[in-house]
Structure 1
Amino acid sequence: MPDRHLTSLTIPRPDDWHLHLRDGEMLKAVLPETSRHFARAIIMPNLVPPVVSSQQAVAYRERIMAAVPEGATFTPLMTLYLTEATDPEDVRAAHTNGIATAVKLYPAGATTNSASGVRDFEKVRPVLEVMAEIGMPLCVHGEVTDNEIDIFDREAVFIERVLKPLRKKVPDLKVVMEHVTTQDAVDYVRDSHKNLAATITTHHLIINRNHILAGGIKPHFYCLPVAKREAHRVALVQAAVSGDKRFFLGTDSAPHTEANKLQSCGCAGIFTAPNTMSCLAEVFDAAGRIKKLEDFASLNGPRFYGLPPNDDTITLTKGDPVRYPTQIETGDGPVTVFDPGFDLHWRVED
């Protein structure tokens, strides 16, 4: 039966390979939106202060587990925030002891709470060499932050200026290019046949830069990396629906309160956790590749990280439009849920 005629799809329970949960009251409110559909998630460490040590990762994981709703099953996969002072042996111990699954590289100033990130990549090379030795992936926010580089070009420049030289110096390092946004990144991953993969977000499969800027500024579509031209969005969709094992889901779901989004210098981030699976099913269905959603959301990520797919499953069905709340309430204030701008006909069955 052709994909576009399917009205029901059962897949292994998906994982989210790039997720922001924040902390405190925000964590308590947003975690249930992920644990409802996802079994595991790579947890971003850019708290204030950032999660830079194994001890801090253990403490953060405990706070996350305390917020998991009763009856839910969810495994947070912790990451360490890479700084120029990161101890290679602490990283080794965190990986060996099952505390941290990956290390996260933020170029200093690239995104929310990234001031502690890396400026001199030679200073972190000893950490990267240890990671290559033990098979620990590096998750990369792939943008340069130089003021003279146009914000729409920062991913492409990062590949040429930072990522290619880094991977030549440490060729055995496993790298995940997170939230790729350009044809340049898609092509680079496709041309690399070892130790490189990429996550793609829900929202970058749906919006381009016109959604942010045309007809007035739409702050709830503002994220980093910023959405690019329509041609780049199309390239991301083609990569996602291809089934290529090097591309998998990382939502980069990033909650901010209305007060922090709607101001003269608003925060970057789009909150997609509640409706991601419906959005993805709509995108894959429109492309006539709904069966490939299993590869993208459930199989390719575990394969790259050396983990088994989840044993339990979810079922999506197609029917009347699904309604999601426009906002969720948190102890810190309301958070707006991503609006794809079209009806969602696929729902996750309870």
Structure 2
Amino acid sequence: MLSLAMWRTRLGKESALRGGTLAVAHAPLASPRRLDGARRSRCPATPTRDAAEAVGDTSGGPERLTFTAPDDWHLHLRDGDVLADVVPHSASQFSRAIVMPNLTPPVTTAKLACEYRARIMAHVPEGSSFEPLMTLYLTDNTPAEEVHRAKEAGFRAFKLYPAGATTNSDSGVTDVRKCFGALKAMEETGTLLLVHGEVVDPKIDIFDRERVFIETVLPTILDNFPNLKVVLEHITTKHAARFVLDGPKNVAASVTPQHMLLNRNALLVGGIKPHFYCLPILKREEHRLAIVEAATSGHPRFFLGTDSAPHADQNKLSACGCAGIYSAPLALPIYAQVFEENGALDRFEGFASVNGAAFYGVPRNERVVELVREDWRVPANYKFGDDVVVPLGAGLKLTWRLRT
């Protein structure tokens, strides 16, 4: 039975569909089919049943992992009635989560962030210690005073969305130079800048947008504000990984499960897979490999950020399908399996529970959690308001489960 490393040498070949449990997700998927329990999705986010049954060789591995409770440093919860469906998923897996502010309308002020936090807290299950860490949405017109108000309210970060780059980003930044007043205040107060690192110039190919941002926009920020802490969110390229590895100590990166698992073949080969569509878009295999290598390296400035982003199934399958992959209920087991298949389980706690807290300047969680080796299958979907949301790897067999 192929290990993940062996499988990679055969990427793109149909025979690779007999790879490890997670490895199969990298390969071109077979013809779409309906999963048992799927309500109507014709393109589920899963490999074929035969491939999903395959289990990587984990003989000799530990039966349980006990480690500091993890945090999610990049999370979308949406708003309204669906909070009741998605908040418990994150609360069951993570102690804290950085909550993204790209609502409609966006969370641009400390007052709006306080109100949003209250709506989230109303759906945290009784007995849970889950803490949403709120962020504010940076615009061309964010005043320095708002940065200070956010700091006083206990909020640690602003999110920079280039206008039009992703979901609900139309109110984002059109020119980073217009934000210099706010960025200066952030540097002075120790407020973090979280960056969706893509340019939106229509002349730039969508697969090159992250690289061009790193080469052009990011230096402008760092040259003018050398003490500003910056997180490159959901990195997808070898260029981003290398920048963090070689760059200044005030730059870190969050890493998603989908960008460790999938390359663009998974999205496009054998038919378009709308449940694998996310932004930044999936890249070539060489970039996925670089992301895995960086995340599992033990380097202290790479940490867990799921970018879990639920959309109703009907919106994912529409003529203009939404970008976003839902992973909150299963991200932790996926990450653990990737680390195991790369011989890096001893570095998993740092990535999941230590590095992010250190970079954000908050204490590590005091409680511990346990992952146990147990085969289970990802549900075909989860309730999402009046619809359903199809998760990453729907129908896939995983080998770790969080003990609750």
Alpha-carbon displacement from aligned partner over 1:103-143 (angstroms, at most 9, x marks no partner): 00000000000000001211100100010011110000000
Deviation of the 1:153 alpha carbon: 0.3
Q: How many Å separate the matches in 2 of 1:268 and 1:4?
A: 39
| 8 Å contact kept, 1:206–1:340 | no
Q: Which residue of 1 aligns with 2:382?
A: 328
Q: How many Å separate the matches in 1 of 2:89 and 2:267?
A: 25
Q: Which residue of 2 aligns with 1:196?
A: 251
Q: How many Å separate the matches in 1 of 2:281 and 2:150?
A: 32
Give unpaired runs (5+ residues) of structure 1. Answer: none
* Alignment of 1:291 onto 2:346: yes
* Alignment of 1:67 onto 2:123: yes
Q: Which residue of 2 aligns with 1:129?
A: 184
- AA partner of residue 33 (structure 1): H
| 8 Å contact kept, 2:378–2:394 | no
Q: Which residue of 1 aligns with 2:42?
A: none
* Alignment of 1:36 onto 2:92: yes
Secondary structure in 1 matching 2:377: coil
- 1:161-172 → structure 2 map (5 Å cutoff): 161-172=216-227
Secondary structure in 1 matching 2:376: coil
Q: How many Å separate the matches in 1 of 2:294 and 2:386?
A: 37
Deviation of the 1:26 alpha carbon: 1.5
Deviation of the 1:34 alpha carbon: 0.3
Q: How many Å separate the matches in 2 of 1:283 and 1:340?
A: 17
* Alignment of 1:23 onto 2:72: no
Deviation of the 1:324 alpha carbon: 2.5
Q: Which residue of 2 aligns with 1:95?
A: 151
Provide TM-score, normalisation by structure 2.
0.84
| 8 Å contact kept, 1:4–1:290 | no
| 8 Å contact kept, 1:45–1:104 | yes
Q: How many Å separate the matches in 2 of 1:177 and 1:167?
A: 12
Q: How many Å separate the matches in 2 of 1:66 and 1:170?
A: 38
Per mean C-alpha deviation after superposition, the further-off stretch among 325-334 and 28-37 is 325-334
* Alignment of 1:213 onto 2:268: yes
Q: How many Å separate the matches in 2 of 1:3 and 1:241?
A: 20
| 8 Å contact kept, 2:380–2:395 | no
Q: Which residue of 2 aligns with 1:82?
A: 138
* Match of residue 315, structure 1, among 342, 353, 370: 370
Q: How many Å separate the matches in 1 of 2:345 and 2:158?
A: 32
* Match of residue 46, structure 1, among 76, 83, 102: 102
* Alignment of 1:156 onto 2:211: yes
* Match of residue 339, structure 1, among 393, 398, 403: 393
- AA partner of residue 129 (structure 2): T
* Match of residue 230, structure 2, among 175, 186, 195: 175
Alpha-carbon displacement from aligned partner over 1:29-51 (angstroms, at most 9, x marks no partner): 10100000100000000000000
Aligned CA-pair RMSD:
1.4
Q: How many Å separate the matches in 2 of 1:3 and 1:160?
A: 44
Identity %: 53
Give unpaired runs (5+ residues) of structure 2. Answer: 1-57
Secondary structure in 2 matching 1:77: strand
Secondary structure in 2 matching 1:130: helix
- AA partner of residue 337 (structure 2): E
Say which one has the larger Rg: 2
* Alignment of 1:244 onto 2:299: yes
Q: Which residue of 1 aligns with 2:9?
A: none
Q: How many Å separate the matches in 2 of 1:279 and 1:208?
A: 16
How many residues in Structure 1 have an aligned counterpart in Structure 2?
347
* Alignment of 1:348 onto 2:348: no
- AA partner of residue 102 (structure 1): A
| 8 Å contact kept, 2:95–2:131 | yes
- 1:300-311 → structure 2 map (5 Å cutoff): 300-311=355-366
| 8 Å contact kept, 1:14–1:298 | yes
Q: How many Å separate the matches in 1 of 2:394 and 2:244?
A: 27
Q: Which residue of 1 aligns with 2:5?
A: none
